A = this chain, B = another copy of it.
Amino acid sequence: MLIPELQLRRDKIRVLMAQQNIDAAIISCNVNLLYTYGQVVSGYLYLPLNAPARLFLKRPNNITGEHVHAIRKPEQIIDLLKENGLAIPHTLMLEGDELAYTEYTRLAAMFPEATIVNGTPIIRQARSIKTEIEIIMFRRAAAAHAKAYAQIPSAYREGMTDAEFSIEIERLMRLEGCLGLFRVFGQSMEIFMGSVLAGDNAAAPSPYDFALGGQGLDPSLPGGLNGSLLQKGQSVMVDLGGNFNGYMCDMSRVFSIGKLTEEAYKAHQVCLEIQEKVASMAKPGVVCEELYNLAIDIVDKAGFADNFMGINQKAKFIGHGIGLEINEVPVLAPRVKQELELGMVFALEPKIVLPGVGPVGIENSWVVTADGVDKLTLCTEEIIEL
C-alpha cells in the first residue's frame, strides 16, 4: 500500500478525533488495521493526533521499519511510547464496538490517567467515505464479481439442489479470485460466502440481519440455502459476497427454473423501478430515509408491500454501506437522517418474495459521485431462465 494513501486514511480519522479532543487511538481490529496499515497484522497501530503512527507488532515477524516495534504483549506499549518521546494521551480511543470487553479493559488499564472513549463510530464514519484508491479497488472487485455472475447459467444442471447450485457458483467466484471470507460488522452476524435462495426458502425467517433469511442446512448456521431440489417455476436469487481484495462488493441476480408466474416478472420490474428511481434521486446531501420512503411508496402503489424485503419477517432497510465489511454506514432505512456524501459506497437491494415462486429483485453496488451515483456491478438485470 502506498504511504500517501495510508496517510490520507489516518488523517480522515484524525480530523474526527480532533473534533472530540481525542489525543490518540489504538487500533487493533483486523479491518481497521487493514484500513490504516494496509494489511492485516496481529498488533496495535498507535495513532496519535499530532505525531506519526507507530505499529506495535506481535505477528508476522518479518515486518520492520522506523515506526515498527516488536512486542509480545500490549503492556509493552507504554514504555515504548516513553522511550520514543511520545506523550501519554489524555483522551484515548479504543474500538469499543469491536474489541471484546476483556481486551478493551486490558488496553484501557494501560492508561490509568486517560479518559477512554469508544472510537468505533469515528473509524466507521471515516471508513464510510471511500478514497479514490478504495473506489478503484471496488471497481476491480465489481468487475470480477460480474464476470463470475455472468457464468452462473453454465453452472446449472437439471435436478440440482440449491446447495449443489450454490457450490458450483462459489467455485466460479473463487476461480475469478474471490477470497471467500465474508467480513461483517457485529459479533452475531455470520454467513459463509453469501446466500443462494430458491423458492419458499427465501421467506424463512433467520436470526441474522441480512436482507432475506433462509432456513439453512443446519441449526448451527440457520440462514441461506436449505438443500431442497430446484423445481420448475421457482426463482433463485444469488447473493454472494464479492470479496476479491478486501472490499465487500455486493450484488444479487435472479434466475428461474423454467418460466415464473406473470406476477413474478411484474414484481421484478417493480424492484428495477425502485432501483432506477432511488438511483436517480441519490446524490450528496440526500437523506437516507428519503430513499427508503421513496422505495416504500413505489412498492405500496404496485401492491407488493406485504412481500417486500421478506414476508413473515421483513428487513427494515433497502440498502447499506459497504466497504471492508458488508454492513457499513450509511443504512438506507426509516428514521436515518444521515445524508449521502461524495465517496460513499452502498448496496441497494429492493427484493420481493412471492409464495410458491421465490425471491425476485435486484442488488447492485453504487458509489456516490459529485452529482449522483454510479453503478459498479454491471451485469444483466433481467431474470435469466436456466
A contact set with B: CB distance below 8 Å: 1, 28-30, 34, 38-43, 58-62, 94, 96-105, 118, 120, 163-164, 167-168, 170-171, 174-175, 177, 179-181, 183, 187-188, 190-193, 204-209, 213, 217-222, 243, 245-246, 312-313, 324
Contact = CB atoms under 8 A, between A and B. Distances in A.
Contacts of A41: 207
10 contacts: A29-B187, A39-B219, A59-B206, A61-B313, A97-B103, A98-B187, A167-B171, A181-B190, A181-B191, A220-B243
A212 to B, nearest CB: 12
Given A96-B101, A208-B42, A187 B312 contact: no
A177 B217 contact: yes
Contacts of A61: 205, 312-313
A179 B220 contact: yes
B38 A207 contact: no
B34 A220 contact: yes
Given A60-B207, A97-B101, A30 B245 contact: no
Contacts of A217: 177, 179
Contacts of A175: 164, 167
Contacts of A40: 190, 207, 219-222
Q: Secondary structure of the A side of the interface?
A: loop
Given A42-B207, A246-B221, A99 B180 contact: no
B60 A187 contact: no
A157 B122 CA distance: 49
A103 B104 CA distance: 12
Given A30-B188, A97-B100, A180-B193, 20 more contacts: A1-B219, A28-B188, A29-B188, A39-B220, A39-B222, A40-B219, A42-B209, A59-B206, A60-B204, A60-B206, A62-B312, A96-B102, A97-B101, A97-B102, A99-B100, A100-B187, A101-B105, A171-B171, A179-B192, A220-B246
B181 A192 contact: yes
Nearest to A223: B40
Nearest to A247: B220
Nearest to A164: B175
Contacts of A221: 40, 179, 181, 246
A59 B163 CA distance: 24
Given A96-B102, A103-B187, A105-B101, A220 B207 contact: no
A159 B268 CA distance: 44
A267 to B, nearest CB: 23
A313 B43 CA distance: 15
Contacts of A170: 170-171, 174, 180
A67 to B, nearest CB: 18
A4 to B, nearest CB: 17
Contacts of A209: 42, 59
A349 to B, nearest CB: 18
A361 B245 CA distance: 32
A61 B206 CA distance: 8
Contacts of A171: 167-168, 170-171
